[in-house]
Amino acid sequence: MPSTIDASIDPTSPAVGEVIGVMSAALVGIVALWLLTRSWRAQSTPPGGEPAQALRGKRKRNLFIVGVSVLIAGLASVQAAASYNPDPRASETRASDGVDTPHIVILPDAFEDFRVLTGENAQRSETEVLAGRRLPHSVRTGYYDEDADGSLDLFVLVTSADWDPKVAEDKATKSISQEFRNYFTSVKAREVTRFDAGKYGGGLSCGLAAGPDGDQALCAWSDATSFVGLRLVRETNLANAARTTLTLRNAATR
């Protein structure tokens, strides 16, 4: 079942964000308790009253509020501990087949109805997509045509720890959820949804972003060593985009 990715309180860790949210709410509650009971706790000695007895009453009231504050903090700590379930680092993910050997990504010349563009068609597609921008040398690309008309239907970007040490460093510190959040935020995607990642495990997500002629589907998959982003130029159905992404992943993974 697909599930929509929700925004996190903390920009680097959803689990830590949840803990901070719970404890912050508890702190606000405790501060409000002390402010609202300030007059009650500071009641002065009534005319003709016994100062010592009034002092004892004031101490009891303060101790009562201290006890309530401790109770609130304790309940919040229990809830925070129960909600703390951090995602593993991306480098720690394993394929669902149980194989620990890292897989590599080699883009195929063809899969399903898609065929890789070559020659002038590939050059034209690259110019269209990059619009003068330069990609890092460590990023590998693929340009695919689906309907044999020589135009671009699918653009693929591949980064991998196999040939880029920076990717290895990122995957040792970030979870797959963080990778997806950073990627889809950078491309201003919306309706980002998680889908079944298939036999190689990790994660697979798709969303929608504005293109030159309307919305386009953007997808990505990630595992312990690779992160691959896709732009499906003529697709707006996320489920269809996810199926195409999974098919490419199965064909490209070795």
pTM of the model: 0.67
Each residue's pLDDT tens digit, 39-94: 888 877 666 667 777 788 888 889 999 999 999 999 888 877 665 546 778 888 77
What is the token pair recorded at 179?
A: 């990778």
CA distance 202 to 162: 17
Residue with tokens 């671009």: 152
Residue 11 has pLDDT above 50, yes or no: no
Each residue's pLDDT tens digit, 95-121: 665 555 568 899 999 999 999 999 999
